[in-house]
Protein backbone atom coordinates (compact mmCIF):
# COMPACT_ATOMS: atom_id res chain seq x y z
CA UNK A 1 0.00 0.00 0.00
CA UNK A 2 1.07 3.56 -0.64
CA UNK A 3 0.16 6.55 1.55
CA UNK A 4 0.93 10.16 0.58
CA UNK A 5 0.59 12.93 3.14
CA UNK A 6 0.13 16.57 2.19
CA UNK A 7 1.19 18.75 5.10
CA UNK A 8 2.58 22.10 6.16
CA UNK A 9 4.69 20.33 8.79
CA UNK A 10 6.64 17.47 7.18
CA UNK A 11 9.03 17.53 10.13
CA UNK A 12 6.32 16.13 12.41
CA UNK A 13 6.27 12.73 10.71
CA UNK A 14 9.77 11.12 10.83
CA UNK A 15 9.75 10.38 14.59
CA UNK A 16 6.52 8.41 14.24
CA UNK A 17 7.36 6.77 10.92
CA UNK A 18 10.79 5.82 12.26
CA UNK A 19 9.61 3.78 15.24
CA UNK A 20 7.99 0.50 16.13
CA UNK A 21 5.57 -1.33 13.84
CA UNK A 22 5.30 1.44 11.24
CA UNK A 23 9.06 1.57 10.87
CA UNK A 24 9.15 -2.19 10.37
CA UNK A 25 6.26 -2.11 7.88
CA UNK A 26 8.07 0.57 5.86
CA UNK A 27 11.36 -1.35 5.93
CA UNK A 28 9.56 -4.54 4.85
CA UNK A 29 7.89 -2.52 2.05
CA UNK A 30 4.47 -3.49 3.34
CA UNK A 31 3.62 0.21 3.17
CA UNK A 32 5.27 3.12 1.43
CA UNK A 33 4.68 6.47 3.13
CA UNK A 34 5.57 9.71 1.34
CA UNK A 35 5.41 13.04 3.12
CA UNK A 36 5.05 16.17 0.97
CA UNK A 37 5.39 19.81 1.92
CA UNK A 38 2.23 21.47 0.65
CA UNK A 39 4.16 24.71 0.19
CA UNK A 40 5.87 23.09 -2.81
CA UNK A 41 2.54 23.63 -4.61
CA UNK A 42 2.03 27.22 -3.48
CA UNK A 43 1.52 29.70 -6.30
CA UNK A 44 2.75 32.50 -4.08
CA UNK A 45 6.31 33.79 -4.26
CA UNK A 46 6.53 33.58 -0.45
CA UNK A 47 5.11 30.05 -0.55
CA UNK A 48 1.96 31.13 1.28
CA UNK A 49 -0.84 28.58 1.25
CA UNK A 50 -3.41 30.37 3.42
CA UNK A 51 -5.55 33.48 3.20
CA UNK A 52 -8.18 35.43 5.11
CA UNK A 53 -11.69 34.01 5.24
CA UNK A 54 -14.29 35.53 2.95
CA UNK A 55 -17.02 37.09 5.06
CA UNK A 56 -14.53 38.04 7.76
CA UNK A 57 -13.76 36.35 11.03
CA UNK A 58 -10.65 35.27 12.87
CA UNK A 59 -7.69 33.31 11.57
CA UNK A 60 -6.62 32.06 8.20
CA UNK A 61 -8.00 29.42 5.86
CA UNK A 62 -5.92 27.09 3.68
CA UNK A 63 -6.38 27.88 0.01
CA UNK A 64 -7.69 25.18 -2.32
CA UNK A 65 -5.16 25.38 -5.19
CA UNK A 66 -2.14 23.77 -3.47
CA UNK A 67 -4.25 20.76 -2.47
CA UNK A 68 -5.79 20.33 -5.94
CA UNK A 69 -2.43 20.83 -7.71
CA UNK A 70 -0.59 18.46 -5.40
CA UNK A 71 -3.15 15.67 -5.80
CA UNK A 72 -3.13 16.15 -9.59
CA UNK A 73 0.68 15.87 -9.64
CA UNK A 74 0.69 12.80 -7.43
CA UNK A 75 -1.89 11.12 -9.64
CA UNK A 76 0.42 11.56 -12.65
CA UNK A 77 3.03 9.43 -10.86
CA UNK A 78 0.83 6.38 -10.57
CA UNK A 79 -1.82 4.54 -12.53
CA UNK A 80 -3.58 3.50 -9.31
CA UNK A 81 -6.70 5.35 -8.19
CA UNK A 82 -6.07 7.04 -4.82
CA UNK A 83 -8.59 7.47 -2.02
CA UNK A 84 -8.30 11.15 -1.08
CA UNK A 85 -9.10 11.82 2.59
CA UNK A 86 -9.43 15.14 4.37
CA UNK A 87 -8.70 15.06 8.11
CA UNK A 88 -11.31 17.20 9.82
CA UNK A 89 -13.05 17.33 13.21
CA UNK A 90 -16.31 17.49 11.25
CA UNK A 91 -15.74 14.20 9.44
CA UNK A 92 -17.00 10.68 9.96
CA UNK A 93 -15.39 9.09 13.02
CA UNK A 94 -12.38 6.89 12.36
CA UNK A 95 -13.14 3.42 13.71
CA UNK A 96 -11.41 0.07 13.55
CA UNK A 97 -13.87 -0.88 10.82
CA UNK A 98 -12.98 2.18 8.77
CA UNK A 99 -9.26 1.46 9.26
CA UNK A 100 -9.83 -2.10 8.01
CA UNK A 101 -11.74 -0.79 5.00
CA UNK A 102 -8.95 1.67 4.16
CA UNK A 103 -6.32 -1.05 4.60
CA UNK A 104 -7.87 -2.82 1.61
CA UNK A 105 -7.20 0.15 -0.68
CA UNK A 106 -3.95 0.36 -2.63
CA UNK A 107 -3.34 4.10 -2.21
CA UNK A 108 -4.40 6.80 0.22
CA UNK A 109 -3.72 10.52 -0.05
CA UNK A 110 -4.22 12.32 3.27
CA UNK A 111 -4.86 16.07 3.39
CA UNK A 112 -3.82 17.76 6.64
CA UNK A 113 -5.48 21.03 7.55
CA UNK A 114 -4.22 23.84 9.78
CA UNK A 115 -5.24 27.32 10.96
CA UNK A 116 -9.04 27.73 10.86
CA UNK A 117 -9.26 24.81 8.46
CA UNK A 118 -9.39 24.21 4.74
CA UNK A 119 -11.35 25.99 1.99
CA UNK A 120 -14.68 24.17 1.65
CA UNK A 121 -14.02 23.43 -2.03
CA UNK A 122 -11.32 20.95 -1.01
CA UNK A 123 -13.97 18.96 0.84
CA UNK A 124 -16.54 19.29 -1.93
CA UNK A 125 -14.37 18.86 -5.00
CA UNK A 126 -11.26 16.91 -4.01
CA UNK A 127 -11.67 14.79 -0.91
CA UNK A 128 -13.68 11.58 -1.24
CA UNK A 129 -13.91 11.21 2.49
CA UNK A 130 -13.68 13.47 5.52
CA UNK A 131 -12.45 11.68 8.64
CA UNK A 132 -12.24 12.75 12.27
CA UNK A 133 -10.34 11.01 15.06
CA UNK A 134 -12.74 12.29 17.73
CA UNK A 135 -14.95 15.08 18.98
CA UNK A 136 -12.25 17.56 19.91
CA UNK A 137 -10.37 20.16 17.91
CA UNK A 138 -6.65 19.76 17.38
CA UNK A 139 -4.31 22.41 16.04
CA UNK A 140 -3.64 20.60 12.81
CA UNK A 141 -4.33 17.46 10.78
CA UNK A 142 -0.88 15.92 11.18
CA UNK A 143 -1.62 14.04 14.42
CA UNK A 144 -4.94 12.69 13.08
CA UNK A 145 -3.14 11.67 9.87
CA UNK A 146 -0.55 9.75 11.87
CA UNK A 147 -3.29 8.07 13.88
CA UNK A 148 -4.90 7.01 10.63
CA UNK A 149 -1.59 5.79 9.13
CA UNK A 150 -0.82 3.76 12.25
CA UNK A 151 -4.29 2.22 12.51
CA UNK A 152 -4.23 1.24 8.82
CA UNK A 153 -0.60 0.16 8.48
CA UNK A 154 -0.71 -2.29 11.40
CA UNK A 155 -3.59 -4.13 9.69
CA UNK A 156 -1.66 -4.76 6.49
CA UNK A 157 -0.51 -8.35 6.06
CA UNK A 158 3.13 -8.56 7.14
CA UNK A 159 3.10 -5.50 9.41
CA UNK A 160 2.69 -7.29 12.69
CA UNK A 161 5.09 -10.06 13.59
CA UNK A 162 3.88 -13.66 13.52
CA UNK A 163 3.44 -13.52 17.25
CA UNK A 164 0.95 -10.66 17.01
CA UNK A 165 -2.39 -10.65 15.33
CA UNK A 166 -5.08 -8.01 14.89
CA UNK A 167 -7.71 -10.79 14.90
CA UNK A 168 -8.34 -10.87 18.65
CA UNK A 169 -7.88 -7.20 19.39
CA UNK A 170 -10.46 -4.78 20.70
CA UNK A 171 -13.30 -3.85 18.32
CA UNK A 172 -13.14 -7.08 16.36
CA UNK A 173 -16.71 -8.32 16.30
CA UNK A 174 -17.79 -5.28 18.37
CA UNK A 175 -15.99 -6.59 21.45
CA UNK A 176 -13.17 -5.28 23.63
CA UNK A 177 -10.24 -7.59 24.17
CA UNK A 178 -10.08 -9.85 27.24
CA UNK A 179 -7.72 -8.90 30.15
CA UNK A 180 -4.04 -9.68 29.63
CA UNK A 181 -1.57 -10.84 32.27
CA UNK A 182 2.13 -11.61 32.30
CA UNK A 183 4.68 -12.44 35.01
CA UNK A 184 4.76 -12.30 38.02
CA UNK A 185 1.94 -14.61 39.08
CA UNK A 186 1.37 -12.55 42.20
CA UNK A 187 1.95 -8.82 42.21
CA UNK A 188 1.15 -6.90 45.38
CA UNK A 189 -1.44 -9.51 46.29
CA UNK A 190 -3.13 -9.36 42.88
CA UNK A 191 -2.98 -12.87 41.46
CA UNK A 192 -3.18 -13.96 37.85
CA UNK A 193 -6.49 -15.85 37.40
CA UNK A 194 -5.83 -19.57 38.02
CA UNK A 195 -7.39 -20.56 34.71
CA UNK A 196 -4.59 -18.83 32.78
CA UNK A 197 -2.04 -20.98 34.62
CA UNK A 198 -3.97 -24.21 34.06
CA UNK A 199 -2.62 -25.09 30.61
CA UNK A 200 -6.18 -25.96 29.55
CA UNK A 201 -6.39 -24.12 26.21
CA UNK A 202 -10.10 -24.67 25.74
CA UNK A 203 -10.91 -23.39 29.20
CA UNK A 204 -8.64 -20.38 28.65
CA UNK A 205 -10.37 -19.58 25.34
CA UNK A 206 -13.79 -19.80 26.98
CA UNK A 207 -12.70 -17.62 29.92
CA UNK A 208 -11.33 -15.02 27.53
CA UNK A 209 -14.52 -15.01 25.48
CA UNK A 210 -16.64 -14.45 28.58
CA UNK A 211 -14.29 -11.75 29.88
CA UNK A 212 -14.43 -9.96 26.52
CA UNK A 213 -18.24 -10.04 26.57
CA UNK A 214 -18.43 -8.94 30.20
CA UNK A 215 -16.04 -6.03 29.91
CA UNK A 216 -17.59 -4.80 26.67
CA UNK A 217 -21.05 -4.74 28.28
CA UNK A 218 -19.69 -2.90 31.32
CA UNK A 219 -17.24 -0.53 29.65
CA UNK A 220 -18.77 0.00 26.23
CA UNK A 221 -22.45 -0.90 26.12
CA UNK A 222 -22.75 1.34 23.03
CA UNK A 223 -20.37 -1.00 21.22
CA UNK A 224 -22.03 -4.17 22.43
CA UNK A 225 -25.60 -3.16 21.71
CA UNK A 226 -24.81 -0.92 18.74
CA UNK A 227 -24.91 -1.84 15.05
CA UNK A 228 -22.36 -4.42 13.94
CA UNK A 229 -19.22 -2.90 12.45
CA UNK A 230 -19.24 -5.19 9.45
CA UNK A 231 -15.95 -4.01 7.96
CA UNK A 232 -13.87 -4.74 11.10
C1 LIG B 1 -7.96 24.04 14.27
S2 LIG B 1 -8.53 22.78 13.20
C3 LIG B 1 -9.86 23.60 12.35
C4 LIG B 1 -11.18 23.44 13.03
C5 LIG B 1 -12.32 24.14 12.30
N6 LIG B 1 -12.19 25.56 12.43
C7 LIG B 1 -13.65 23.69 12.87
O8 LIG B 1 -14.13 24.33 13.81
O9 LIG B 1 -14.22 22.68 12.44
C10 LIG B 1 -7.29 22.71 11.97
C11 LIG B 1 -7.13 21.36 11.29
O12 LIG B 1 -6.83 20.37 12.24
C13 LIG B 1 -7.31 19.12 11.80
N14 LIG B 1 -8.12 18.56 12.89
C15 LIG B 1 -8.42 19.15 14.06
N16 LIG B 1 -9.13 18.35 14.84
C17 LIG B 1 -9.31 17.20 14.18
C18 LIG B 1 -9.97 15.98 14.48
N19 LIG B 1 -10.61 15.78 15.62
N20 LIG B 1 -9.93 14.98 13.55
C21 LIG B 1 -9.31 15.16 12.37
N22 LIG B 1 -8.67 16.31 12.03
C23 LIG B 1 -8.67 17.31 12.92
C24 LIG B 1 -8.07 19.35 10.50
O25 LIG B 1 -7.24 19.01 9.42
C26 LIG B 1 -8.34 20.85 10.56
O27 LIG B 1 -8.43 21.42 9.27
Q: What is the CATH number of the domain that holds 214?
A: 1.10.1270.20
Distance 14 CA to ligand 1 centre (A): 21
Question: What domain range includes position 220?
Answer: 172-225
CA of 220 relative to ligand 1 center, distance in Å: 26
Centre of ligand 1 to C-alpha 8, Å, is 14
Tell me what pLDDT residue 69 has. 98
pLDDT of residue 3: 98
| pLDDT at residue 164, as a whole number | 66
Tell me, what's the pLDDT at 91? Answer: 98
Among 153, 187, 208, the domain-final residue is 153
Q: By the 8 A CB rule, do 123 and 89 touch?
A: no
Contact 17, 26 (CB under 8 A): yes
Quickly count: other Cβ atoms within 10 Å of residue 207's Cβ: 18
Residues 117 and 46 in one domain: yes
90 Cα nearest atom in ligand 1: 9
How far is residue 48's CA from residue 65's CA, in Å, rounded to a whole number?
11
CA of 47 relative to ligand 1 center, distance in Å:
22
Judgement on whether residues 100 and 129 belong to the same structural domain of the protein: yes
Strand partners for 130: 86
Q: Is 147 in the pocket of ligand 1 (CB under 6 A)?
A: no
| Inter-CA distances, 32 with 27, 111, 114, 159, Å | 9, 17, 24, 12
Q: Are residues 148 and 213 in the same domain?
A: no
The dihedral sign for the CA sequence 136, 142, 144, 147: negative
Output the CA–CA distances (angstroms, integers) from residue 162 to 19, 76, 112, 179, in the order listed: 18, 37, 33, 21
184-209 confidence digits (pLDDT tens): 999 999 999 999 999 999 999 999 99
pLDDT at position 232: 57
Whole-prediction pTM value? 0.95
Distance 61 CA to ligand 1 centre (A): 11
Q: Residue 96 to residues 6, 193, 199: CA-CA distances in angstroms?
A: 23, 29, 32
In a domain, 161, yes or no: no
User: Which residue's CA is the nearest one to ligand 1's atom 26?
Assistant: 113
Atom 6 (ligand 1): residue with closest C-alpha? 116
In tens digits, what is the pLDDT along the chain, a chain of 232 residues? 999 999 999 999 999 999 999 999 999 999 999 999 999 999 999 999 999 999 999 999 999 999 999 999 999 998 999 999 999 999 999 999 999 999 999 999 999 999 999 999 999 999 999 999 999 999 999 999 999 999 999 999 999 876 567 777 899 889 999 999 999 999 999 999 999 999 999 999 999 999 999 999 999 999 999 887 655 5
Here the CATH number for the domain that contains residue 62 is: 3.40.1280.10
- Contact 229 CB / ligand 1 (< 6 Å): no
Co-location of 114 and 72 in the same domain: yes
C-beta of 128 in contact with ligand 1 (< 6 A)? no
CA distances (Å), 187 to each of 156, 196, 204, 211, in order?
Answer: 36, 15, 21, 21
State the closest ligand 1 atom to the C-alpha of 139, by its place in the atom list counted from 1.
Answer: 1
CA of 224 to the centre of ligand 1 (A): 29
Residues 72 and 23 in one domain: yes
User: What's the confidence (pLDDT) of residue 212?
Assistant: 97
Helix (H, G, I), strand (E, B) or coil at 201: helix
> Are residues 135 and 65 both part of a single domain?
yes
Is any ligand 1 atom within 6 A of the Cβ of residue 137?
yes
How far is Cα 43 from Cα 119, in angstroms, rounded to an integer?
16
The whole-number pLDDT of residue 165 equals 72
Q: Residue 110 and residue 29: Cα distance in Å, rounded?
A: 19
Q: What is the pLDDT of residue 162?
A: 66
Dihedral over Cα of 17, 21, 23, 29: its sign: negative
Amino acid sequence: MRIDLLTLFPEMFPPILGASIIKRAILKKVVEVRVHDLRDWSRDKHQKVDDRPYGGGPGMVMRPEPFFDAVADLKKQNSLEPRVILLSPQGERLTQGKAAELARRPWLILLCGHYEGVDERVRIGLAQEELSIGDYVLTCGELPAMVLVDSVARLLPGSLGDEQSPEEESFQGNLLEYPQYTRPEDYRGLRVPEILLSGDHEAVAEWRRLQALRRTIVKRPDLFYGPADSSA
